[in-house]
Amino acid sequence: MRSSPQRVLRLLVVAIFGLASALVPLSAALAANSVTVYYSTTWTTANIHYQPTGGAWTTVPGVGMNETACTGWKKKTVNLGTATGLKAAFNNGSGTWDNNGGADHTIGTGVSTVKNGVVTGNAADPCVPEAPDTEKPSTPTGVTAAATGVSIALAWSAATDNVGVTGYKVTRTGGTGGTKVVDVTATAHSDTGLVENTLYRYTVQARDAAGNLSGASEEAGATTGKKPEAPEGGTPLGGDPREDSIYFVMTARFADGDTSNNRGGSQHVKSGNAANNDPMFRGDFKGLVDKLDYIKGLGFSALWITPVVLNRSDYDFHGYHGWDFYRVDPRLESEGTSYQDLINAAHAKGIKIYQDVVYNHSSRWGAKGLFTPTVWGARDDQWKWLYSEKEAGREYNPMQEHQGNDPNLTAAQNAMAKGRPYNGDQWSTTEPAGNTCRNWGTPTQWSSPEGYRIHNCQWPNPTSGMFPANYYHQCWIGNWEGEDSRSCWLHDDLADFNTESKAVQDYLIDVYNRYIDMGVDGFRVDTAVHIPRVTWNRRFLPAIREHATAKFGAEKAKDFYVFGEVAAFVHDKWNRGSVNHSAQFFTWKERKEYSADDVRAAIEQYDYENLMGSGNQPTSTNATLNGNTYHAPDHSRFSGMNVIDMRMHMNFGEASNAFHNGKDSDDSYNDATYNTVYVDSHDYGPNKSSVRYDGGTDAWAENMSLMWTFRGIPTLYYGSEIEFQAGKPIDCGPTCPLATTGRAYFGDHLAGSVTASGFGTVSSASGAVAQTLDKPLVKHVQRLNQIRRAVPALQKGQYSTEGVSGGMAYKRRFTQGSVDSFVLVSVSGNATFTGIPNGTYVDAVTGDSKTVTGGTLTVSLSGKGNMRAYVLALPGNPAPGKIGSAGPYLR
């Protein structure tokens, strides 16, 4: 049939439009199979070297990312054809590559961003500003104010927001200081140091990340009272330190008595602590004061606490990054509960305070009053999130943290800045006068984890010239058993003091004299092995004794307990054969004269003792009996420093191993009865394990029975009495939440009230702490403390295994003045004691009495962790009989 022209035209139109409609899905498919890549970098030039899925790689270095983007980003659109994605690596054309650690970046279709190793698919264009958030948070409600002394505690209900509330603005009126505004992140705030008998009023506004402020809350007010009087300085309790047992706490992780001083720091979110509502600084002195009865109820009469000085680092809750050594860290103190208050409160309950001290190093930011470095920094697009705007006269205060709401920062930069205290006192873009750091501010080849270019002199380190040699050492440790382990840096956040410099010596002596003046009872010395023994013996140890004597008298000074951490993580008697790095070495005075110059003397002493070797070191019988007889110990060559028993610590995987290894070393200490003995700590478990001891409850009980009856001072790391966090990693820094580690917060187990009626006895308890006190190892340690406190030989006695058969069995005796105490001990098994004095022996565990006429006593004993302690009744020193009640192990 012949078509008309009109029909042909109509068919042509339909055909054309049909073809067009058929082509639309094809073009859409082609568009979908392309990828637009935005790469975050500071490079001037960037190339993308890629391989489409199922295809071949481009020729190195790839293709230029030269499409129009914005500052900090490079852009390239790649047509994938039928491929569904690509693998990519990026480079600057000059040999610097980002290939995701060798794994390359996997990128799908559509728009993707690549930043700091993270690929985000279906991403928004990073060069297009997000629509501003203009919606205000809700107004906070339920604001309350309560005054205590010259402090007012505020609390309110959390506000809400369409994106999220980032903090609160608290406005105060009243008093003589006019209006004051402070930003906080929590729904509580403690306003301290106010004027007495004055009315203050407060309103609260919520703030979101965009800086939107809610309306002001209803006003709440309170009137202050009288200012508490400053606590009087303390006096050490005195008394032989061997009479005590020690409970060791990380103050910031033990008990939270005041939430207003909690601080999470800059790693709060990154570490995972924020998700657990578990700021790194959580426990405090008030929490410790509140729970002293728990510690006393366990039976401990000495409390070892982590360093108290003001720290400065990103993750410093532990206390070992000291910056202002003269000042107590405010994150530990509260209104009415200063460090002095803690010392006084502990003393009032008969508990000593052993303060952890650091002579070896400061924070990487130096030591205020000695030397603090100025680093390169800039408030540019890359680094303004890290460096605070400078304010004249303002300095670091960890109580004031960045709130993450700076309108001059991007959302990502605010997230990185959040939690950082003010650091405008720390950096400079222009080279400061007197700078000794080489190549000031010049860019390096390195980038930060955020992808920003690092500059010379931006981060403290020993080899850049930043730290003057008169104050700090200038090298990294290369050999942990070499001389350099005493004269170089351990780590980049531990700036190593030049302890042979008089300026440093004077500074440290003056610092720690102030804590002696407060009445602390002793020092645990961190990293003691990293300071030459001759420096300890010439400078620091005499200074401690002399100042304590001048302040409190010779007897109190003699009882001031100094115990050093001489870390030797081996099972040997001598640390890999190096006497200079072995714990017992530090208990002795020098045996020859060295150069008057302390630097030269340190080298001379190291070389001389290294030459003498382990076979020519002094020996002692101060810890061992002469048969059954106690003899007066000879302390004439004692250095003044006792030590943590590292060999027993390393061997406490099994109590018997710890016992036999301990015995083997005792002749090499000046007096091993003063050794600090523990199973695990905040650093390591036995065998240098990185987890808290997890040998099981029976093994713990056996370890405790040995520690509490063998020579040395038994010490327990917080929570071990309930096997707290057994098997958990002791420390992983900010790479995992504290709640998953051996440094977890313990306060939840202490909630409620507890009253101790004596050491090792509790008259009342309620709440969670009552359940804690009912645990089997708690019962065990309570009774061990009761027994040890009643038998002087178990505290201060010399010992012997002569004439003794049995796995862990020994006799101990202490004789002084009118006291004469003799005891036979067996742990976890049978024992026979021969050649002992005749007489009546009474077991402190069961009350069993045995009369010895032929010099032999046999113990029948079963049960891991069980024990017998047969005390000889002597004239004027009757046996105490059964002490305490039968428990899960002592029965």
Nearest in space to 308 (alpha carbons), one of 102, 486, 128, 514: 514
CA distances from 443 to 92, 422, 455 (A): 16, 24, 4
Phi, psi of 405, deg, nearest 5? -135, 30
* pTM, rounded to two decimals: 0.82
Phi-psi region of 679 (alpha: psi -120 to 50; beta: other; left: phi over 0): alpha
How crowded is residue 479: how many other Cβ atoms within 10 Å of its Cβ?
Answer: 10
600-646 pLDDT, tens digit each: 999 999 999 999 999 999 999 999 999 999 999 999 999 999 999 99
Cα torsion for 519, 520, 521, 524, to the nearest 10°?
-160
Q: 59: burial class by Cβ within 10 Å (0-12, 13-18, 19+)?
A: exposed
Q: DSSP readout, 36-63?
A: EEEEE---SS-EEEEEETTS-PPSTT-E
Question: 170 has which bridge partners?
Answer: 182, 204
Task: Spell out, as residue ranges, where the chain has pLDDT lower than 50.
Answer: 1-31
Whole-angstrom distance between the N-terminal and C-terminal Cα of the chain? 117
Alpha carbon distances (Å) from 1 to 5, 12, 125: 13, 17, 59
Lookup: tokens for 823: 């005891």
**571 within 8 A of 647, measured Cβ to Cβ:** yes
pLDDT given for residue 623 in this prediction: 98
The pLDDT value recorded for residue 855 is: 98
Rounded Cα–Cα distance for residues 472 and 88 (Å): 46
- Rounded distance, CA 764 to CA 596, Å? 60
What residue type is assigned to position 506 of the chain? D
**In whole angstroms, what is the distance from residue 828 CA to residue 704 CA?**
11
Q: Is the peptide bond before 61 cis (omega within 30 degrees of 0)?
A: yes
pLDDT of residue 32: 55
Asked whether 153 and 190 are in contact (CB, 8 A), the reply is yes
Q: What's the confidence (pLDDT) of residue 155?
A: 92
